[in-house]
Amino acid sequence: MSAETTTAGGGSGGGAGGAVPAKGLRAGILDLGDSVMLGLASTAPVYSLAATLGLIVAVNGNYTPLILILGFVPVLFIAYAFRELNGAMPDCGTTFTWSRRAFGPWAGWLGGWGVALAGIVVLANLAQVAGQYLWLLIGDGSLAQNKLVVTVTGVLFIAFMTLVNYRGIRLGEHVQRVLTYVQYVSLGIFALAIIARIAGGAPEGQAFDFEWFNPAGAFADPGAVVHGSLLALFIYWGWDTCLAVNEETENPATTPGRGAVISAFVLVAIYVSVALLVMMYATVGTEGIGLGNEANHSDVFLAMKDVVLGPWGWLIIVAVLASVLSSTQTTILPTARGTLSMGVHGALPPKFGEVHPRNQTPGFSTQVMGVAAVAYYVAMSILSENLLADSISAISLFIAFYYALTGFACVWYFRGTLRASARNFWFRGALPLIGALILTAAFFISAVQMWDPAYGDTQIFGVGGAFVSGVVLLALGVVLAVVCRFLPSTRGYFTGQPAAAPPSVRSPN
């Protein structure tokens, strides 16, 4: 396929069809199965469960399965917004492009910033976890506590996955498939081992109880429900990766949207079923392998691995490592394509809009995302690991911000077609609006919680470090947008004046 290959143009979703400029990406290389796999892999399901399940149990106890379902509701509603907007404008810029068409250039720019920001910050977390888990597999595991070794290893992992994405979408898909198989096979073995032990009569387990799904019992403490649902929001984040590769997917106006919705449903099934098994075997107690044991909150699977799998306990470490590496690669994908689209549309300097002529990938944007993630990770590691942890906690603010913006953009963009049919009313109007309102509330509730200096591991001027990190990073986007407003190469994006079209393909060196 030549370097001049273009992607499919925009379709019509019932509103005004959105023109999608050709970017030089490799069109039609991914099918529905690839799309679903990318959506599942980007959420890092094994790691997300391992790192979050104990925290949710600490807040919600036996009602954790219900909380996982409640946290899924706004995510599903926003998935419908992504699907509908993608049908009208299958542009790899996703939230950036759609918000711009709905609300104007400033909203678009800040939406793109939200996507990139969430990706860069979470890459620092993934790099650290990958570095720790690799060294847990080697020797006696003591090197996992060596800050320098872990940091260098994490940087190398980011660099490697950046290279994989740079070299081509097909190579990335092959690597992703291997990592996905490894984590799901390992998780499957872990789940089967738990089932076998439960069937054999686990002496300290607890029997399944329908009360765990009783809303009346859970909402006896509304604050706990809100807190747990906010935690659950993070573990579902990532399915939208399959929308960011829409221009490289078969039938870009329909397949990515279907992939997003399918992956969202598969995720909730995995999370709830695994949570039930782990709860029934380990219980929500505060002793031993109990999920309520504070010592286990950072990784409930690590605490259980030897009890459940015996000498094969290393399999769960492999599963978490594969999950983290898989998510590292698929996190770089949407951030790089988002800035590619911003470059093509003139919101960033033209260099960001260049596509490698041979690899047909966002060459420059991919490199920038990798370098930005490494710089942020190393800087935070040097300054304070506690501050790094708090900045990672602030990711919920970034996710809620750009998901809510997408929901509102869907309602506003399709406002003229909502009365045309019941389908339009629900999937383009009511459900995206409800999801956006829930996530807006989640944003402000999270911000209030993070303001408390006792919320995380650090405090700055008497305010929680997570709040300060989140506000500073979001505010940085406003500053950068103002800078771009006055740059000669990007001023036209904000003023509506025509600017020179950025090159879609980089000239060979």
Q: Flag whether pLDDT at 4 surpasses 90.
A: no
Residue 493 to residues 108, 168, 498: CA-CA distances in angstroms? Answer: 10, 29, 8
Q: What is the 3-state secondary structure (H, E, C) of 322-374?
A: HHHHHHHHHHHHHHHHHHHHHHHCCCCCHHHHCCCCCCCCCHHHHHHHHHHHH
What is the reported pLDDT for 465? 84
Task: Give the mean pLDDT of 492-501.
Answer: 74
Give the CA angle between residues 114, 119, 122 to the nearest 5°.
Answer: 120
Instruction: Judge residue 216's burial from the number of C-beta atoms within 10 Å of its C-beta, 0-12 exposed, 13-18 middle, 19 or more buried.
Output: exposed
Q: Flag whether pLDDT at 500 surpasses 60.
A: no
**249 strand-pairing partners:** 30
Tell me how far apart the alpha carbons of residues 212 and 215 are, in angstroms, rounded to a whole number.
Answer: 9
Q: Which of residues 205 and 218 earns the better pLDDT score? A: 218
Say which amino acid occupies 475.
A
Residue 472 to residues 334, 391, 418, 446: CA-CA distances in angstroms? Answer: 23, 10, 38, 15
What is the reported pLDDT for 202? 63
Q: Flag whether pLDDT at 390 surpasses 80.
A: no
What is the reported pLDDT for 6? 36
What is the reported pLDDT for 5? 33
Q: Which of residues 341 and 207 earns the better pLDDT score? A: 341
What is the reported pLDDT for 463? 87
Say if residues 377 and 124 touch (Cβ distance below 8 Å): yes
What is the reported pLDDT for 265? 93
What is the reported pLDDT for 171? 85
Q: What is the pLDDT of residues 277-331, one digit of tens each?
A: 999 999 998 888 989 898 888 889 988 999 999 999 999 999 999 999 999 988 9
Give the CA angle between residues 443, 449, 451 to the nearest 5°.
Answer: 100
Tell me how far apart the alpha carbons of residues 278 and 301 are, in angstroms, rounded to a whole number.
Answer: 9
The tally of CA atoms less than 13 A away on the side-chain side of residue 62 is 15
What is the reported pLDDT for 169? 86
Q: Flag whether pLDDT at 380 surpasses 90.
A: no
Give the CA angle between residues 308, 309, 314 to the nearest 5°.
Answer: 125
Phi (first) and psi of residue 93, to 5 degrees: -75, -10
Q: What is the average pLDDT score of the chain? A: 88
What is the reported pLDDT for 106? 97
Task: Give the mean pLDDT of 265-278.
Answer: 94
Task: Give the mean pLDDT of 469-494.
Answer: 93
Structural tokens at position 371: 């370098």
Tell me how far apart the alpha carbons of residues 325 and 182 are, in angstroms, rounded to a whole number.
Answer: 11
Q: Flag whether pLDDT at 275 surpasses 80.
A: yes
Instruction: Judge residue 458's burial from the number of C-beta atoms within 10 Å of its C-beta, 0-12 exposed, 13-18 middle, 19 or more buried.
Output: buried
Tell me how far apart the alpha carbons of residues 437 and 439 are, in angstroms, rounded to a whole number.
Answer: 5
What is the reported pLDDT for 203? 62
What is the reported pLDDT for 174? 85
Q: Which of residues 332 and 234 earns the better pLDDT score? A: 332
Say if residues 130 and 153 touch (Cβ distance below 8 Å): yes
Phi (first) and psi of residue 464, to 5 degrees: -55, 135
138, containing H or E segment? none
What is the reported pLDDT for 63? 96
Q: Residue 481: CB partners within 8 Å, gap ≥ 6?
A: 106, 109, 110, 113
Q: Which of residues 308 and 2 earns the better pLDDT score? A: 308
Of the candidate ranges 122-136, 219-233, 331-345, 410-424, the one whose mean pLDDT is the lowest: 219-233
For the chain, percent of residues with pLDDT exceeding 90: 62
What is the reported pLDDT for 18? 53
Task: Give the mean pLDDT of 121-138.
Answer: 91
Say which amino acid occupies 44.
A
What is the reported pLDDT for 199? 85
Radius of gyration of the chain (CA): 22
Task: Give the mean pLDDT of 181-206.
Answer: 87
What is the reported pLDDT for 16? 40
Q: What is the pLDDT of residues 6-24, one digit of tens each?
A: 333 333 333 344 567 778 8
Q: Residue 425: CB partners within 8 Å, gap ≥ 6?
A: 418, 419
**460 strand-pairing partners:** 463
Q: What is the pLDDT of residues 57-114, one digit of tens each?
A: 988 999 999 999 999 999 999 999 999 999 999 999 999 999 999 999 999 999 999 9
